[in-house]
Structure formats: C-alpha cells, structure tokens
C-alpha cells in the first residue's frame, strides 16, 4: 500500500496489507442460452418427444441420484429450511460453526451438501396442440423456484470454507465462492509463518511483507483449475454402475463479485477508534457523483452514485456507490480500519469478466482503496491522543487525592444532565445546582444528587467551579 494515509500515520501503524476478500465466480453453458440448442442436445442424448411431461426429468434425476450417493461417503445432505433457513450468509455461518472451524487438516475435504430452493432463470416446457391436433412440446424461458445444491468444502489450494453451487435444472447455472483471506491463511500455514486472525482479518503476522507476493500468485488460472476439479467431481450423472457427463455440458466461468480490501492495523485501539470517528465526521459529505467517480478512477457520472452510512457488525460503515460498484470503510475490530472495494459491474470500470482476468480486479480495487485513503490523510494528528477517552472510562483523583468514579451513561439521569449542560445559555451565564435541580426534577430527587454527578465532571476539568461561588 502506497498512499498518503499510511505515511501520515506510520508511527501509529503496526502493518498494512491488501488482498482479495469475497470472490464469487459464476458458470454458464453459453450454448444453452438458445432454446433450439437445448432441444437438439436433449434429442442427441436420447430424450424423445414421446415423453409428455418435462422430458428432461430423467436427466435431472440422474444427477440427483449421483449427488445422493455421497451420503454413503458420510457426507451429510441437509435440507436448509428444516435446519436453519436463514438468509444473508446464514449458510456460510452454519458451515463455519459446525464444520470448518473444527477442521484442522489439510487437502481437500467435503463438509456437507446443503439443498435449498431459490428462484432462478431456467428452462421450462409445456405441451401444445397443433392445428392438426398433434401434441408437441415447447421450451420457454421462465423464472421459478429450483432446487440448488451448495457443496461446502475445504480446498487444498484456496483454503476454506468454499462452496460450489449447482442448479438442478437446465441450463445448470453454477456458482463458486472462495475468500482471499483463507487462501493467504492456507499458504502461511504451509510455510510455517506465525500469524493471528480475528473476524476474517489478519491482525498480526511475523512477515507482513510476504503478503503482496501471495496476492500475485493467486491468478485466475489457479482458480479455474480448482473449479474444474470440483465440477469434475460433483457435476455428473448417474448411469447405474458408473457416472459420467457429456462433453457438451462444459461451463464457462465469469467473475460476478470481487471484493478487494486494504487493511491498516494500528498499534493502539484507542487511537484507531478516535481516528475513525474523525473520518466519519469529516468525510460523510464525500458522496458527490464527481468525487465518487474520482475514487474509482473514472469520469464523473451524473447518476447511479450515492453515499450511505450504516452499521456493520455494530460499527459505523461509510459506503459509496458508483454504477453498481461500491467502496466502503469501517473500523471492524477496534484497532483495524478496512477499506474495501466491491466490483459488481466490471464493464463500467473497464474490466473483463472471464475468471482468467482475476489479477486486474486486484489492481483496480487497490487503486480505488488508495485514492480513498489519500482523501483521509488530511487529519490533524495533534487532535488525536491515545488516552483521550480514559477520563470517561476510568476513575480519576480530584485535588484532594480522592478517587472519583467515571460517569455512567447507562443511567438516564446522567444522560439528561449532560444534554442540559451542553445548552449554549450555560456558556454565558453559568449555572447553579438549584437551577439544574429545578429543570431536571423528574430525574433528581434533591440537589445532593446533582452535585454528586457534577463532581465527576469537575474532577475531569469538563466544567469549572467559579471561585467564591456556591456550587
């Protein structure tokens, strides 16, 4: 990573690295985009018009029979609605909790097969009658719920958990997922390099300078080889005594979603948290179309650009959108700021979709991350201190060396007291305890309670008691 942000705060940074994060590759049999080709293929495979129903059912059932045979190899097949049924990554979390986190071996290991029904674009058929009364079958494109098979496994090269999703109906659209952090973890294990991970992030490593080289080694060719290995193992059709697959059922693989993250690990969590709060205050207005286009290195776009602020795992996340792509920034673990570019629309960024162009996505994503971090370097370092929040979380000593406890903002009365003291009128005229007691009588029984809370602020120099004045 070479940007002004890292140079500005290098004395407070432990190390930095960039890598792939979530990568989704989708496979299509492009010939099956034509319904005529599908009909010719089925005829060549021996399926005739005499079958009145959806006459590819025999083809589909043979694939399902082949997948179910894996149950004999102690590979569980789970019907998702009866196990968890959650959404938004729940399958991945379930597999991690029950399988991958307990796996400590090497090589290829299949964890489980999860089945679920999802609405997808598929091919359906219906019987029609001609003017002469002859029945014939007609194909048409349709979107309907189709059974999907998620095969979760640990890959010998890419780590895990990964998954291969195979649709059970024509045109057999497929999907492959892996995570770049798991790939780096796998290589570090093989090289015997010590490291520590927390919440899908490398927070400590003996030789961080080795990671850029590992990213260069992860080429699209390697990913394609691993996809072909798993497809040859699971995308087959049962023939009784053996299983096979037609040479015409060959997928072409295209990058669907690629996340590239740049990670800055700080020495102090307090400094990191304080810095990120400054970034949120200063750069929430960066979301103008011209500014966002500059982050992605493209010409300004009048539309399809926006900025949003949301919670990510209970932490604030600043996210910018540009033509379907996004870049976000968040403080994930307290001492770790991640800047992450997600490429969903590669064409708008001048990128090609075949999986062999995977490395170009890394260069593009790191470039966008660096441009955003350059914008974030304009922070006054003198406004940040490691211990600036200690006075509100730890006891302090007053002028008589007596210990004064920290304010507890979980109590409603302290919150309303602070809100009242922040009003501008008190900056000019000051206040008396009796005045606060009268205003906040619903929260304080007497003036002694008010004075008790005010002493916590006086001991921390938040408010000042005037000399020879009543308190």
Quote the domain boundaries for residue 437.
390-458
DSSP state of 445: S
Helix (H, G, I), strand (E, B) or coil at 331: strand
Nearest to 394 by CA among 466, 298, 323, 460: 460
Per-residue pLDDT at 252:
95
Report angle CA 86, 92, 94 to the nearest 5 degrees: 65
Question: Considering the domain boundaries, does residue 134 fall inside one?
Answer: no
Contact 440, 450 (CB under 8 A): yes
Question: Considering the domain boundaries, does residue 397 fall inside one?
Answer: yes
Question: Considering the domain boundaries, does residue 56 fall inside one?
Answer: no
Per-residue pLDDT at 55:
44
Helix (H, G, I), strand (E, B) or coil at 7: helix
Q: What is the pLDDT of the chain when averaged over all its residues?
A: 82
Question: Considering the domain boundaries, does residue 302 fall inside one?
Answer: no
Task: Going residue by residue through the chain, which has 471 residues, state the pLDDT in tens, using 9 for 90 and above.
Answer: 678 888 888 888 999 999 999 999 999 999 888 888 888 887 777 665 544 444 445 556 666 666 666 666 678 888 888 877 667 678 888 998 889 888 887 889 999 999 898 998 888 877 788 888 887 778 888 898 988 999 999 999 999 899 999 988 888 899 999 999 999 999 999 889 999 888 788 888 888 889 989 999 999 999 999 999 999 888 887 777 777 788 888 999 999 999 999 999 998 887 888 888 888 776 655 555 556 777 777 766 555 556 555 555 546 788 888 888 999 888 877 788 999 999 999 998 999 999 999 999 999 999 999 988 888 877 766 666 545 555 666 788 877 778 888 887 677 888 888 888 877 777 767 788 888 888 888 888 888 888 888 888 888 777 877 766 655
**H or E element that contains 366:** helix 358-375
Per-residue pLDDT at 243:
77
Nearest to 140 by CA among 40, 38, 48: 38
Contact 275, 385 (CB under 8 A): no
DSSP 384-421: --TTTTHHHHS-EE-TTS-EEPPP-TTSHHHHHHHHHH
Question: Considering the domain boundaries, does residue 406 fall inside one?
Answer: yes
| pTM listed for this prediction | 0.76
Total domains present in the chain: 1
Question: Considering the domain boundaries, does residue 172 fall inside one?
Answer: no
Per-residue pLDDT at 47:
65
Q: What percent of the chain has pLDDT over 70?
A: 82
DSSP state of 310: E
CB within 8 Å of 53: residues ≥ 6 apart: none
What are the helix and strand counts (H, E) for the chain? 16, 17
d(CA 33, CA 43): 17
Question: Considering the domain boundaries, does residue 99 fall inside one?
Answer: no
Question: Considering the domain boundaries, does residue 228 fall inside one?
Answer: no
The 10s digit of each residue's pLDDT in 72-111 is: 667 888 888 887 766 767 888 899 888 988 888 788 999 9
Query: How long is the chain?
Result: 471
């Amino acid at each position: 990573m070479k940007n002004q942000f890292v140079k500005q705060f290098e004395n407070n940074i432990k190390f930095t690295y960039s890598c792939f994060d979530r990568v989704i590759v989708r496979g299509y049999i492009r010939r099956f985009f034509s319904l005529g080709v599908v009909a010719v293929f089925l005829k060549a495979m021996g399926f005739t018009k005499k079958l009145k129903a959806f006459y590819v059912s025999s083809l589909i059932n043979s694939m399902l029979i082949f997948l179910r045979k894996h149950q004999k190899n102690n590979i569980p097949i789970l019907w998702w609605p009866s196990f968890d049924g959650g959404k938004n990554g729940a399958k991945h979390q379930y597999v991690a909790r029950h399988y991958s986190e307990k796996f400590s071996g090497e090589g290829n290991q299949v964890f489980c097969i999860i089945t679920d029904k999802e609405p997808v674009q598929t091919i359906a058929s219906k019987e029609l009658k001609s003017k002469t009364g002859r029945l014939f079958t007609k194909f048409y494109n349709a979107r309907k719920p189709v059974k999907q098979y998620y095969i979760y496994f640990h890959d010998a090269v890419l780590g895990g958990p990964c998954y291969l999703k195979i649709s059970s109906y024509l045109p057999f659209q497929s999907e492959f997922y892996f995570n770049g952090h798991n790939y780096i973890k796998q290589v570090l294990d093989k090289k015997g390099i010590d490291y520590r991970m927390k919440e899908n992030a490398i927070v400590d490593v003996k030789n961080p300078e080795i990671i850029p080289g590992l990213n260069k080694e992860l080429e699209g060719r390697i990913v394609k080889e691993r996809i072909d290995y798993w497809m040859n193992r699971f995308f087959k059709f049962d023939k009784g005594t053996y299983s096979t697959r037609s040479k015409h059922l060959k997928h072409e693989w295209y990058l669907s979603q690629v996340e590239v993250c740049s990670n800055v690990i700080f020495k102090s969590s307090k400094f990191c948290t304080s810095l990120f709060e400054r970034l949120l205050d200063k750069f929430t207005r960066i979301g103008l179309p011209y500014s966002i286009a500059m982050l992605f290195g493209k010409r300004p776009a009048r539309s399809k650009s926006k900025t949003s602020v949301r919670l990510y795992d209970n932490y604030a996340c600043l996210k910018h959108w540009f033509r379907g792509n996004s870049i976000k920034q968040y403080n994930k673990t307290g001492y770790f700021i991640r800047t992450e570019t997600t490429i969903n629309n590669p064409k708008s960024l001048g990128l090609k979709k075949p999986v062999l162009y995977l490395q170009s996505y890394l260069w593009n994503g790191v470039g966008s991350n660096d441009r955003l971090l350059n914008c974030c370097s304009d922070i006054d370092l003198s406004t940040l201190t490691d211990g600036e929040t200690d006075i509100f979380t730890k006891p302090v000593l007053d002028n008589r060396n007596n210990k004064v406890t920290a304010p507890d903002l979980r109590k409603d009365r302290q919150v309303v007291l602070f809100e009242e003291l922040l009003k501008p009128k008190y900056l000019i005229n000051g206040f008396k305890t009796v005045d606060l007691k009268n205003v906040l009588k619903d929260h304080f029984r007497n003036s002694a309670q008010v004075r008790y809370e005010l002493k916590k602020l006086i001991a921390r120099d938040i408010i000042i008691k005037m000399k020879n004045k009543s308190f």
